[in-house]
Structure 1
Amino acid sequence: MTRSLAEANREISRVRGLPYGAARTQAAEQQARLVEAEGPDQARAYALLVLVESYVWAGEVDRAYLPFTQAVRWYDEHPEHLDETDVHQLFWSFKWMVGHLSDFPDVPAAQIEATLADMERRYAVAGLGHDAVAYEKFCWARKRGAPDVDELYEQWVRTPRDDFSQCEVCDPGDRATYLVERGDVEDAARLIEQTLAEGGTCATEPADMLARLATLHLEAGRAQEAAATHRRAVAALADSESDMAGARGARFVLLARGGQPRRALRALASDARLLQRADTPDDTFWFLADVVAGTSALLPDHATLPVELDGVPVRDVTGLRDWADSRAAALARAFDARNGTDRYARSLADARATRPTVARLDLDVIPATGPDAPPAGGTVASAVADDVAAGESAFARAERLTEAGDVVAAAAAWLEAAREAEAAGRLADAGLALAEAARCAQEASDDDGAAATYPGAVARMRAGGTPVPDVVPVVVAWAPAAVVTGTGAAVVDVVDGLLGELADVPADADAPVDPVAQAAGAELDERLSYARRRARADLHDTAARVLASLGGDHLPDAARRAARAAEGYAGVDAVADAAHAFWLAGRLHAGLGAVDEAVWNLESAVEGFAMVRQHDHRGEVVSALVDVLRGAGRDERADEVLRSLTR
């Protein structure tokens, strides 16, 4: 039966509310086919434009051009079927097409320029502002390295903003990027700092601007400012959307040039997927160029440093540099051939010439000699002395600094608090203080310091008699640092030891029963049992994630533990945590080729996220589930899952 307009719009809107990814894209394709086959005509533009949006933000801009042209043709032939929202979205989509089509070297320059000219004409006829057009003209010139790029930049910045201008936070970031390219470094730094001070955020900012500013600080010899800004950039990256290839590439270059080779390679390992395919070929080229720049800075001193990257057949820094250079050069040739310039080749040549900076980055929050070393000198030591003179205890000082967000100074204060507690024989307190110091180090991107500190924290808490369920959160916090630093096996050993102490103790059937004591004790027993069961689930989940990071022969055990964690969380009504654990188990089983187990766990995760109304996670799991079903040839079931998203 044909849907009404309200029903069609409602289902398309539900697709639009999904997170970007395979599930949303396929659901949008499904809606576009339904409207084309069954109507109503008034919903066609909406369905096509949601499909365009889905392709664009899932990194498939090349596929977006067909439904975009279909929407434009529909608008030209049947404007009566589009409402005001449809028309606005159609004109907004021109920006995506012009801006992103140039990211694909196989899209002819003539097609890009024709689309840009059509955009300019249509905006003028519709009486819209010129800012979006001026920006796209500048971007196309910049991408080609055209001789009039400076003139087009000035025209853009002089053009008043309007309803079709880009994000107010992205705008200054793009300006700063170009200012750096043309050599106006101080102006760029001032613009970034002014924008950061205003506190604006969006899907990609302030991570992009912070990454750029950290580089400017390092190149100017401001090592402390570079380190502080780098920490802010890493924190912002965690909250950003899209692949953030630019900021991630800049992070690698910063660490490599600043004398942090091992940290640089670890950061790159976490971003290895971008070496094969970022959102667009243009993004891939610039990420590869950053890898060429960073590895060039590491040569020759670190030429033989081992490199392990998923899907990249290299063994050391020299091999990585050659591999990245070869792939980047191929993309440069394709872009330059399309553009009729040598901009990409020149940019790659600049990357090859990158060298270390004179300034060296110091990113250790906990001293390199370990948590038992004396407190750091300089301003932190002075602040500690002033606070002690004022009569403030080490614990109070550490808590105050933590609450103020000064995690670097707080880490030093927590270390001092740990030393004081241990000297007084309060081992449990000492362990807790060490755990807090490690957590501060993690927040400041010092995973080495954190990974070196957590084991001592756990040991002291255990020696001090801290109940096992209270130790478990520290082990959970330790795991990510251990994974990053390659010390995950130690976490699994601790997990297994704690699990052995968390079994519920059976009641003694022959013991005399006191009804009053029994009633009072039953409630306490239930609370303790709940805490133990929750702790067991947390430990299995932690072990599963650590084992999954180790890969290889550890994956079957990781899948089993993830399933046990999911069951444990479900048993204590922790539905969201259970859903996450089912999701992990499903991914692991899928990777092992166990289709039925993968489907069951992923379906359980979908159900769990639906119960707690975490729609973004639900959409991501559905994407994984649909991929598994289609890979197994269960297309009808995959289509049913997609349709369920809109009901």
Structure 2
Amino acid sequence: MSTDDVYALMARSQELPYGEARTVLVEDALRRAEAAGDDVLAFHVRIRLTDAYRYGGEPAKAFATFSRTLADHDRDPGRYDEAHGLLWQMKAIVSSLTLFPEIPLDRTYAVLDDMERRYKAGGHSLQAVYHYRNVVARHVGDGTADEWYLKWRAAERDELSDCQGCDPTGMARHLIEAGRHEEALEVAAPVLDAQLNCNEQPQSIQTTLLPVYLRTGRAEQAADVHRRAYRVHRTRLADLTDIAEHLQFCAVTGNEARGLEILQRHLGWLDRAPSAYADMCFSAAAGLLLRRLTAAGHGAATVRRPAAGGRPAADVPVAELGAELAERATGLAARFDARNGTSHQGDQVRATLAAEPVTGFLPLAAHHRRPAAQAPAPEPAPRDDFASVDDLDELLDTGDRCRRRKDVPGMRAAWRRFDAVAGTAEPTPLQRARRLDARGFEHAVGGDGAEAAAAWEEAARMFGELGDQTRRHRTLGRLGAVRHDLGDEGGLDLMNAAADHFAAHPGEPTDLASALLRLTAAHLRADRPADALAALDRVAADEVPDLAGELWYLRGQALLMSGEADDGIAALRRSAELARASDDPEEIAAPALQLARALARRRDAPDEETLALLDEALAAMPGPSPMRAAALAERGASLISLDRPADGVPDLVEAIAEWTAEGMHENAVHLRVDLAGGYLSTDRPLEAAETAEEVLQALPESGGDADPAVHHARRRATLILAHAQKQLREEGAAETFTSLADDAARDGEHDAEAHFRYEAADVLTDLDMDAAAAERYAEAAEAYEKAGDPYGVVRARRRAAVCLMWSGDLDAAGPAMETARAALAGLPPDNEPARIWETALVSYEQARILARTGGLGEAAAQASAAIDGFTALDASDAAEEATRLLEDIKSALG
């Protein structure tokens, strides 16, 4: 068994994040080191395995490896010499011992005492010892925590003190538990803006400060750090306790929906929780969240619990799961308290389970906010002129006039006066029918289509019995429209019958026009533009000036749907001109919005006229409404397409908030794609990533029969997510780019496939995961070959070889670079500068590989060739770099 295998495995493990995959590699390396009989190498691997267990979510396993390495060191310090590393790991061992109630407390204190003895013997400060005595005291709740905290603060820091991020985090936790929130913020403040690259920072201090921000009036900061810190924690099993704090944060800030997403994502982790303590904390926070959901009336909703340990996956009701997890948390707390001899852990669990909201709904992002509630319109004061009117016909006529002017308060006031007078004066049958017809309007204005239909059906019957065909067909037209909106295609027959009646029996000019407008609108909603135009052709706009704007508006829509863009735009222009004289906000806004959309599509891009029309529509509608949301969405998207994302993002945020408030969630989801793109364009990758993830969570997976719009939205959101993750330096970016590549490969889009695989490789390279990057570059080269891109083939093969070199696999790097050189033959002959450039790059990188593998003579020749190529292209910087490489090679040659 070669020790080279051990070093190779350890090198590969360093490229992986802490977790199961990394731990498996280090465990394999330890087995090989032991099999090779190299005790010293096994000792050093075992130290690294202790770290892998701690940070990978298996702290209990670290006890055995740490004890073994400490014993080896004590037996022969000269041979097993890594005293500093062992003393550093001892701190975490002390902390971990408290996390398992089956480990006696005496053992923890014994390790603490041993730690203090070793620190003194080595001449180290006791600052870290006091720190971890404070940790144990806080866990037990024995009243000595403040004493150890003061010693900790007073002691001098040294090389064994926790890092500049973790030390203040521990201090802040002590102060927060003592209710000293402002002091906690003061301790943490110097760290918050520092560049921390510890495995646990900055996400740990951000999570610690969540209750501080909430309880000191810094709600926006709380929302921001929740989003940033949880994004890191969510991939790490070892951070389950921190995740519990984010779950509790959601429960007390009105973000139960977000909390439920977190719970669903991590519920399966309870079956492999890092410790009993982490299990207890998560169960308690989940119990709180589920209690609040149950209290809000969602107890019957279900949570999917994954299969584990022979238990099948199941959908568990929120109320049932909440009770189960609360009992689980209190049971674990009782075990800790029995071990500790205090009630401290039980008190904390009970406080968590009973926690009440700290604030009202706290938006976690700008587009999550809820629009300010509109104050209900005050009930209109009784009209003096109506109060003295006792004539029932006059009151009915007044109500109709108010209705036609869209004076809803006046309409209702007149009809209320009618009802009051009718209580003492018996209405005639016609008056009763008219009042029932008016009742239909009241229901329609209130949004109750079914009740409106019932009222109008009865009113039409009564008008028919009275022989009043004019009023009967007016009512039948309205009845047909509402029935059609309710999904009854028979409503179309009623609207046609009304239009035909008024065409054959002319009365008031608006009777026929109104009937045809209803019919036209129904045809447009059913995507029948030809039928809509046929209906509109039966009435001339100049014959009904009061309805002319609406007639032109509907004609414009029908023409656009028919593909007659120029005529449609002209009709909408006419409608917009007429609407400007109106005092109805929607009548002004609708044609302006539709005209803006039509112009943007016609010109392939928005322009200043488009924006002016959208401004006009928004100015007409100052309060929240679906049409205002649509105009905001259109203006936001237009500004982003004009490369003004900073101006467009606020409009999109407002539109999403308004659509969400109106219950129009599908509109809001699709608009989030534009918002995610806007965030990315304004250097806000965190917001871009989270918004894109919201889209992907809301939209169904794309399948072979997927809605093309949904497929496009998912793919665009995934692309935005990939680039945002790349900017955030998240390893997940490589996986996201790879998923895009796989989709492109299935669609036969090999150029896109190659691009995305190359992007995935770039991400891995930036994260120093060179072996994995080499694999992605090799896959990209194959895709470039399928796409017929010879330049891409050369670049990808060259980069693959370089990554193999950096990963330490020199045996594979040389042959890989030869494949890149062979690919140069495929470059087209008609672009000599490009050929020279790519050849020089291959020569330069090949020289570097050869220099590392001992082929110095050939390395010098390749470096010289690179210099010649770069010089021929006047690429002076590259030529100088190649010259330095050649000088280093010649120096090595002697």
> Which deviates more from structure 2 when the two are superposed, residues 305-314 or residues 275-284?
305-314
Q: For 1:119, which of 115, 120, 129 is the aligned residue?
A: 115
CA 274–436 in structure 1, closer or farther in 2 if over 3 Å, else same: farther
1:268 counterpart = 2:263: yes
1:230 counterpart = 2:228: no
C-alpha deviation, 1:113, in angstroms: 2.4
| 8 A contact 1:257–1:298 mirrored in 2 | no
Match of 2:728 in 1: none
User: What 5-or-longer segments of structure 1 have no aligned partner?
Assistant: 375-392, 397-413, 461-474, 501-533, 543-556, 582-600, 619-647
Match of 1:482 in 2: 695
Q: TM-score, normalised by structure 1?
A: 0.62
Larger relative contact order (Cα-Cα within 8 Å, sequence gap ≥ 6) = 1
CA 160–18 in structure 1, closer or farther in 2 if over 3 Å, else same: same
C-alpha deviation, 1:233, in angstroms: 2.7
Match of 1:552 in 2: none
Q: For 1:108, which of 104, 111, 121 is the aligned residue?
A: 104
1:151 counterpart = 2:147: yes
Match of 1:326 in 2: 327
C-alpha deviation, 1:325, in angstroms: 0.6
C-alpha deviation, 1:447, in angstroms: 12
Q: For 1:300, which of 287, 292, 295 is the aligned residue?
A: 295
CA 37–202 in structure 1, closer or farther in 2 if over 3 Å, else same: closer
Q: How many residues align?
A: 489
Measure the CA separation in 2 of the matches of 1:613 and 1:111.
Answer: 51
Q: Describe the superposition over 1:283-338 as per-residue Cα deviations: whole angstroms up to 9, x where unpaired.
A: 22112222233344455234536242433856444223212112112221222222
| 8 A contact 1:2–1:38 mirrored in 2 | yes
| 8 A contact 2:692–2:717 mirrored in 1 | no
| 8 A contact 1:12–1:50 mirrored in 2 | no
Measure the CA separation in 1 of the matches of 2:609 and 2:230.
Answer: 32
CA 112–42 in structure 1, closer or farther in 2 if over 3 Å, else same: same
RMSD of equivalent CA atoms: 5.2
SS in 2 for 1:66: helix
Match of 1:250 in 2: 245
CA 488–107 in structure 1, closer or farther in 2 if over 3 Å, else same: same
CA 357–73 in structure 1, closer or farther in 2 if over 3 Å, else same: closer
CA 321–314 in structure 1, closer or farther in 2 if over 3 Å, else same: farther
CA 251–537 in structure 1, closer or farther in 2 if over 3 Å, else same: closer
| 8 A contact 2:206–2:226 mirrored in 1 | yes
C-alpha deviation, 1:142, in angstroms: 1.4
| 8 A contact 2:758–2:777 mirrored in 1 | no
C-alpha deviation, 1:494, in angstroms: 6.7
Match of 1:128 in 2: 124
Measure the CA separation in 2 of the matches of 1:446 and 1:91.
Answer: 57
SS in 2 for 1:366: helix
Q: For 2:166, which of 166, 170, 173 is the aligned residue?
A: 170
Match of 1:341 in 2: 342
CA 52–253 in structure 1, closer or farther in 2 if over 3 Å, else same: closer
CA 68–342 in structure 1, closer or farther in 2 if over 3 Å, else same: same
CA 395–66 in structure 1, closer or farther in 2 if over 3 Å, else same: farther
Letter in 2 for 1:260: N
CA 491–201 in structure 1, closer or farther in 2 if over 3 Å, else same: farther
Q: For 1:437, which of 649, 672, 678 is the aligned residue?
A: 649
Match of 2:56 in 1: 58
1:284 counterpart = 2:279: yes
Match of 1:352 in 2: 353
SS in 2 for 1:308: strand
SS in 2 for 1:162: coil
Q: Describe the superposition over 1:356-394 as per-residue Cα deviations: whole angstroms up to 9, x where unpaired.
A: 235442446238789xx99xxxxxxxxxxxxxxxxxx99
SS in 1 for 2:366: coil
Alignment of 1:80-99 (within 5 A): 80-83=78-81, 86-99=82-95
Q: Describe the superposition over 1:117-138 as per-residue Cα deviations: whole angstroms up to 9, x where unpaired.
A: 2222222222222122211211
CA 99–369 in structure 1, closer or farther in 2 if over 3 Å, else same: closer
CA 32–204 in structure 1, closer or farther in 2 if over 3 Å, else same: closer
Alignment of 1:375-454 (within 5 A): 419-420=634-635, 429=641, 437=649, 452-453=667-668
SS in 2 for 1:248: helix
C-alpha deviation, 1:489, in angstroms: 5.4
Letter in 1 for 2:337: D
1:20 counterpart = 2:18: yes
Match of 1:209 in 2: 205
CA 497–453 in structure 1, closer or farther in 2 if over 3 Å, else same: closer
C-alpha deviation, 1:428, in angstroms: 9.3
SS in 1 for 2:305: coil
Measure the CA separation in 2 of the matches of 1:135 and 1:151.
Answer: 11
Match of 2:530 in 1: none
Letter in 2 for 1:231: D
CA 154–268 in structure 1, closer or farther in 2 if over 3 Å, else same: same
C-alpha deviation, 1:25, in angstroms: 1.9
Measure the CA separation in 2 of the matches of 1:438 and 1:499.
Answer: 26
Match of 2:874 in 1: none
C-alpha deviation, 1:114, in angstroms: 2.3
Match of 2:565 in 1: none
Q: Describe the superposition over 1:404-449 as per-residue Cα deviations: whole angstroms up to 9, x where unpaired.
A: xxxxxxxxxx998854488xxx79948996996399869x999979
| 8 A contact 2:633–2:651 mirrored in 1 | no
Letter in 2 for 1:58: G
Measure the CA separation in 1 of the matches of 2:334 and 2:194.
Answer: 41
| 8 A contact 1:421–1:427 mirrored in 2 | yes
SS in 2 for 1:272: helix
Match of 2:135 in 1: 139
Letter in 1 for 2:670: P
CA 417–483 in structure 1, closer or farther in 2 if over 3 Å, else same: closer
Alignment of 1:537-556 (within 5 A): none
Match of 2:838 in 1: none
Measure the CA separation in 1 of the matches of 2:62 and 2:674.
Answer: 56
1:564 counterpart = 2:559: no
Match of 2:757 in 1: 575
CA 487–339 in structure 1, closer or farther in 2 if over 3 Å, else same: same
SS in 1 for 2:303: coil
Match of 2:536 in 1: none
C-alpha deviation, 1:564, in angstroms: 3.0
Letter in 2 for 1:280: S
The structure with the largest alpha-carbon Rg is 2
> Which deviates more from structure 2 when the two are superposed, residues 487-496 or residues 191-200?
487-496
| 8 A contact 1:537–1:565 mirrored in 2 | no
CA 81–346 in structure 1, closer or farther in 2 if over 3 Å, else same: same
Measure the CA separation in 1 of the matches of 2:14 and 2:155.
Answer: 32
Measure the CA separation in 2 of the matches of 1:212 and 1:565.
Answer: 46
Q: Percent identity?
A: 24
Q: Describe the superposition over 1:465-521 as per-residue Cα deviations: whole angstroms up to 9, x where unpaired.
A: xxxxxxxxxx9997622333x333589977746989xxxxxxxxxxxxxxxxxxxxx
| 8 A contact 2:632–2:651 mirrored in 1 | no
